[in-house]
Structure 1
Amino acid sequence: MKKLLSIVTAIFISISCFAQSKYGNPEVDPITIQSKFSDWWAYQNKKIMLSRDFTPLDSLSNAMTKEAFLEELTKGNFIPIRLLSEEAIYNYKLFKIKPDSDTSIKATIVQEAFDADKNLKMEGTAFPKFSFKDLDGNIVSNETMKGKIVVIKCWYIHCAACIKEFPHVNALASKYKDRKDIVFVSLAEDNPQQLKVFLAKRPLSYSVIPNMKIYMNETLQLNAFPTHFILDKEGLIKKVVSNYESLEVALAKESKM
């Protein structure tokens, strides 16, 4: 009996080691990173992007669906940590939150996971019907955008994170300027006058549509900014992301379709 238990234990250890070696070790110590909110947030904000495509792993390094991964995070029992890998490979694994960790860590993870899960559920659905005028008087609608890949940035003037990424999204628009089948549109909460004054100092290389607060809050039901959408040529939502890094990767993928 003891011999049998030893064999079973050896097999279990072997399987566990294989799972860990297959995906790699955590890039930071999951325990130490929870010691201070500021340390965890600096890591989370830079390294963990729940809206991007990644390989989700449970606490035993078993692959799981992204939906299940995000659902576990919304329960407040885990933190996501990236495993060491090549630069373009993202393996996120669940690690237990310590009982004495800062409660702000748990609360922030729950909120970010909730937002990411909500965005994920939008992917594959039709973007709501719209027909608006941009600041230049051009009509922007589902019909005028038909047959094009549409990149949509949702923002407002007093959103620091929205403004901080202007140089990056402008560079992205410039990168695809020769692609006539890709258009860049932004929905802004603010009125035309406010936007014209603001954009005179901080240009945005997107078509800018004003007075979109109600549409974004009620129709799109957004509660986090910035939010970026990528629509395919049929008007379906292909990707919903919260930062330009994930946007850049997603657009590169969609532009090759």
Structure 2
Amino acid sequence: MKKSFNIVLIGLALSIVFVPEVKAYAHQGLMKLGFFQPKIELPSEIKSENKNYNNGKESNFQMSFVDTKGNTLSLEQLKGKVVFLNIWATWCGPCIAEMPSIQKLYDKFKDKEDVAFVILEAESNKNKAVKFMTNKKLDLPLYFPSESIPSESIPSEIFRGSLPTTVIFDKKGNIAHVTEGMADYSGEDIVDFLNEVRAMN
């Protein structure tokens, strides 16, 4: 009996480590307990020495991506909007875990003309990414890197290799927030943050 229990326990532990869906389920349970909240600083609280925020100086990140229909979009074209950029991969358990919370946030802002969501599958695995969204009943705006080598199309100031990574840009294209790693975006703190960034000139 004890041996059987140990085998089950080991199997569960290995599943959490190696099976993205199981890992995502475990992470979602931790989110419900209040773990993995994004560290949000409102723009008025961001200090001038914060290298992730340019204090009104307009940024000019060169980055473009394509949607599921092959249409190209760039960060330059999105200036004038607050942009929520989430970089993820289909095999990444933490990425999968946070997606339902991103959907909840998206549902609150999808009708706002001055907010854009870019859910960027980092490896251009289009078929698998579309299938994932369909199976999970998510309608997030799905994009892929425009370059043949995905890593070359994402500036290092935006993405340093950690999946998932979420970057929020203000209307001038400045980086207002970065979260490297999984977070729960279903709370009111992130809603308040986006609304304050929206209100900025």
Separation in 2, partners of 1:143, 1:249: 25
**Counterpart in the other structure of 2:52:** 122
C-alpha spacing 1:218/1:194, structure 2 compared with 1 (3 Å): farther
Give the deviation of 1:141 after TM superposition: 0.7
Structure 1 residues 127-160: Cα deviation after superposition (integer angstroms, max 9, x where no partner): 6211221112222113321211111111111221
Asked if residue 256 in structure 1 is aligned to residue 194 in structure 2, the reply is no
Asked if residue 215 in structure 1 is aligned to residue 153 in structure 2, the reply is yes
Q: Tell me the amino acid that sits aligned with residue 40 of structure 2.
A: R
Q: Tell me the amino acid that sits aligned with residue 141 of structure 2.
A: S
What are the equivalent positions in structure 2 for 1:188-199 lying under 5 Å apart? Answer: 188-190=121-123, 191-199=125-133
**Counterpart in the other structure of 1:201:** 135
What are the equivalent positions in structure 2 for 1:23-38 lying under 5 Å apart? Answer: none
Q: Tell me the amino acid that sits aligned with residue 128 of structure 1.
A: F
Q: 2:173 aligns with which of 205, 230, 235?
A: 235
Contact persistence 2:87–2:165 (CA under 8 A): yes
C-alpha spacing 1:248/1:207, structure 2 compared with 1 (3 Å): same
RMSD (Å), alpha carbons: 3.3
Q: Normalization by structure 2: what TM-score?
A: 0.62
**Counterpart in the other structure of 1:156:** 89
Separation in 2, partners of 1:67, 1:46: 30
Quick check: which has more Rg, 1 or 2? 1
Q: Tell me the amino acid that sits aligned with residue 177 of structure 2.
A: K
Instruction: Give 3-state SS (helix, strand or coil) of 1:168's partner.
Output: helix
What are the equivalent positions in structure 2 for 1:65-76 lying under 5 Å apart? Answer: none
Q: Normalization by structure 1: what TM-score?
A: 0.50
Instruction: Give 3-state SS (helix, strand or coil) of 1:196's partner.
Output: helix
Give the deviation of 1:213 after TM superposition: 4.0
> Which is helix-richer, 1 or 2?
1
C-alpha spacing 1:234/1:66, structure 2 compared with 1 (3 Å): closer
**Counterpart in the other structure of 1:33:** none
Q: 2:71 aligns with which of 105, 123, 138?
A: 138
**Counterpart in the other structure of 1:170:** 103
Ranges in structure 2 where 5+ consecutive residues have no aligned partner: 1-29
Give the deviation of 1:180 after TM superposition: 0.7
Separation in 1, partners of 2:133, 2:38: 30
C-alpha spacing 1:173/1:196, structure 2 compared with 1 (3 Å): same
Higher relative contact order (CA 8 A, sep 6+): 2
Ranges in structure 1 where 5+ consecutive residues have no aligned partner: 1-41, 55-64, 69-119
C-alpha spacing 1:219/1:204, structure 2 compared with 1 (3 Å): farther
Structure 1 residues 217-256: Cα deviation after superposition (integer angstroms, max 9, x where no partner): 8563423222211111111111112422564442132133
**Counterpart in the other structure of 2:80:** 147
Separation in 2, partners of 1:217, 1:142: 11
Contact persistence 1:52–1:241 (CA under 8 A): no
Separation in 1, partners of 2:60, 2:193: 17
Q: Tell me the amino acid that sits aligned with residue 121 of structure 1.
A: K
Instruction: Give 3-state SS (helix, strand or coil) of 1:209's partner.
Output: strand
C-alpha spacing 1:249/1:159, structure 2 compared with 1 (3 Å): farther
Give the deviation of 1:165 after TM superposition: 1.6
